[in-house]
């Protein structure tokens, strides 16, 4: 089996990964890069702060294997950045988007992302 890379959405994140296996309507992908960092908070009540638990949502880890629905996966032919570079870029893009807004959800998300950056060992910029 030759290495084939796919771009796939998983929950609210988007990733590049190596296609490892395929069964029924799912593809097993080994994560190699993060294109879009997951949104923070409750998936069932998006952009709400007044929820019982405001979830901290980490990106899938490098080399983590995850089954994604086949319709969520597309072939990826572009140059693949390193996991670290892609994670930093995806975080900066999400922070930039949230910083342009001045609502409770964005502020709470930025707080949560600051904590995640410490977990990821990424310096504040």
pLDDT (tens digit per residue) in 64-77: 999 999 999 999 99
Give the separation between CA 83 and CA 16, rounded to whole angstroms. 9
Contact 33, 80 (CB under 8 A): yes
pLDDT at 124 over 70: no
Q: What is the pLDDT of residue 73?
A: 96
Tell the CATH superfamily of the 5-120 domain: Kinase associated protein B domain (2.30.30.430)
Mean pLDDT of 37-66: 87
Residue 105 has pLDDT above 70, yes or no: yes
Q: Kindly state the tokens that stand for 78.
A: 């572009």
Q: What are the sequence ranges of the domains in the chain?
A: 5-120
**Which residue from 53, 121, 50 is spatially nearest to 88, judged by alpha carbons?**
121
């Amino acid at each position: 089996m030759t290495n084939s890379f796919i771009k796939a959405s998983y929950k609210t994140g988007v990733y590049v990964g190596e296609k490892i296996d395929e069964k029924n309507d799912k593809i097993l992908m080994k994560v190699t890069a993060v294109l879009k960092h997951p949104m923070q908070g409750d998936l069932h009540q998006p952009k709400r702060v007044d929820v019982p638990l405001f979830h901290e949502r980490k990106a899938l880890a490098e080399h983590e294997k995850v089954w994604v629905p086949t319709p969520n996966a597309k072939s990826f032919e572009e140059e693949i950045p390193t996991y670290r570079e892609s994670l930093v870029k995806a975080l900066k893009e999400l922070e930039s988007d949230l910083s342009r807004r001045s609502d409770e959800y964005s502020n709470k998300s930025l707080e949560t992302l600051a904590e995640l950056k410490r977990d990821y060992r990424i310096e504040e910029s």
